[in-house]
Chain A
């Protein structure tokens, strides 16, 4: 749940918001950087965030959509002293990381809203130095829904559940495909025929559902 202040929402509605990101990586020492030009203090943080005038922090904060399960890649400048410390630190692996999104007024002088965009752990650090190009450090953040050293296994399909307990058929009627496209009207594509089955087999409720649909609307 993200609570965005009324002033920030108004700026977003007006199209006057300046959006920027801030990151805290809890290595030793703790690294605090943000995408602006001066040092910024945030409530609850004992030390100010150091400036890395980097628009990629903005891209992550503003452009990364999706749920908390989605991993986030931060692209940092590979030559800023503030970010190179991430690369040098021994404790970077698995370090807790917090990403904030900051919304400023259109004149860039007033911080209208701060909210934590994602929390996660540092998964992978990739250094890239491209000749004639850019030098960057890419930090992959694994958000809480995906990692955090979970001991259990994936539980999404009937097969997964039966790995945990062979007789447990709780998921037997659950489709394992993350996304299934149903075609309303028109000719049924050949691939859909293969997936959903044209004849009712009676083996799974999703198969029957699909073929009923096509019998009624598709022809």
Chain B
């Protein structure tokens, strides 16, 4: 099943914590050295805080949570505070690729290189000339699951831009992201895109609570907690 879309409610999300979760087995010493190893690969985790929902939004949130069926169903989740890059907060309407043609938000090609310090550098081509990336922008990657209908893009993940970067006049840019892409997961044929980057998540029902709904159908404060379900 294709993951559900995150609902586009009128009230939106009041606050979001959208962060990379890493698990360490640390062995801190009194000397100050903090040794240790990291257990497995990082994942995105999200806490969406909802406040003062209007009646229509309450309906949509309740319907969305009901459809998730607890842990059963995946959904697409991104950072609603940065659905588009900072330099194009309203989307890419009217923008053109440096090489000509409308820019729909996706790059023509991408590649990842790891530098000597272990930083992940994503090379992108087919961007508008001098396109600017700001820290905390996102680059999304989407690809089709094995055996799925082409173009459904059930598999997604994203990387957070950590250094400001600007595309060349030819529309090519090199951007540092976190976390680095796992080459065993993200195929070379994936599409790198900047429009509403998201990953596939499942909710954590123990930490999700929409809160009570008032008699006038107005919602109070609620929380949806989710963790990335990363699959190749």
Distance A58 CA – B40 CA, assembled complex (angstroms)? 7
Distance A109 CA – B119 CA, assembled complex (angstroms)? 11
Judging by beta carbons under 8 Å apart, are B37 and A36 in contact?
A: no
Contacts of B25 in A (CB 8 A): 19, 58-59, 62-63
Judging by beta carbons under 8 Å apart, are A109 and B182 in contact?
A: yes
> Which chain A residue has the least Cβ–Cβ distance from B34?
A15
Judging by beta carbons under 8 Å apart, are A12 and B37 in contact?
A: yes
Question: Known contacts A39-B232, A110-B114; is A19 also within 8 Å of B184 by CB?
Answer: no
Judging by beta carbons under 8 Å apart, are A19 and B38 in contact?
A: yes
Contacts of B184 in A (CB 8 A): 36-40, 51
The answer to whether A35 has its CB under 8 Å from any CB of chain B is yes
Judging by beta carbons under 8 Å apart, are A36 and B41 in contact?
A: yes
Interface centre among B25, B42, B120 (most CB of A within 10 A): B25
Question: Known contacts A15-B35, A53-B230; is A35 also within 8 Å of B118 by CB?
Answer: no
Judging by beta carbons under 8 Å apart, are B180 and A37 in contact?
A: no
Question: Known contacts A15-B34, A38-B232, A110-B114; is A58 also within 8 Å of B39 by CB?
Answer: yes
* Chain B positions 73-129 with a Cβ under 8 Å from a chain A Cβ: 112, 114, 118-120
Judging by beta carbons under 8 Å apart, are B38 and A17 in contact?
A: yes
Digitize A6-40: 1 where CB-to-B-CB distance is under 8 Å, 0 elsewhere.
00000010011111100000000000000111111
Judging by beta carbons under 8 Å apart, are B185 and A62 in contact?
A: no
Min distance, Cβ B20 to any Cβ of chain A, angstroms: 12
Judging by beta carbons under 8 Å apart, are A37 and B230 in contact?
A: yes
Distance A109 CA – B121 CA, assembled complex (angstroms)? 13
Min distance, Cβ B188 to any Cβ of chain A, angstroms: 13
> Which chain B residue has the least Cβ–Cβ distance from A111?
B184
Judging by beta carbons under 8 Å apart, are B41 and A108 in contact?
A: yes
Interface centre among A16, A103, A109 (most CB of B within 10 A): A109
Contacts of A108 in B (CB 8 A): 41-42, 179-180, 182
Complex A-B: 30 CB contacts under 8 Å: A16-B118, A17-B37, A18-B37, A18-B38, A18-B39, A36-B40, A36-B182, A37-B41, A37-B231, A38-B183, A39-B184, A40-B184, A53-B41, A54-B40, A55-B39, A55-B40, A58-B25, A58-B39, A58-B40, A59-B25, A62-B25, A63-B25, A105-B114, A107-B118, A107-B119, A107-B180, A108-B41, A108-B180, A109-B180, A110-B114
Given contacts A37-B232, A58-B25, A109-B181, 18 further A-B contacts (CB under 8 A): A15-B37, A18-B39, A18-B40, A18-B41, A19-B25, A36-B40, A37-B41, A37-B185, A37-B230, A37-B231, A53-B41, A58-B39, A63-B25, A106-B118, A107-B118, A108-B182, A109-B180, A109-B183
List the 8 closest A-B pairs by CB distance, nearest first. A38-B184, A58-B39, A107-B180, A38-B232, A19-B37, A38-B185, A107-B118, A18-B38
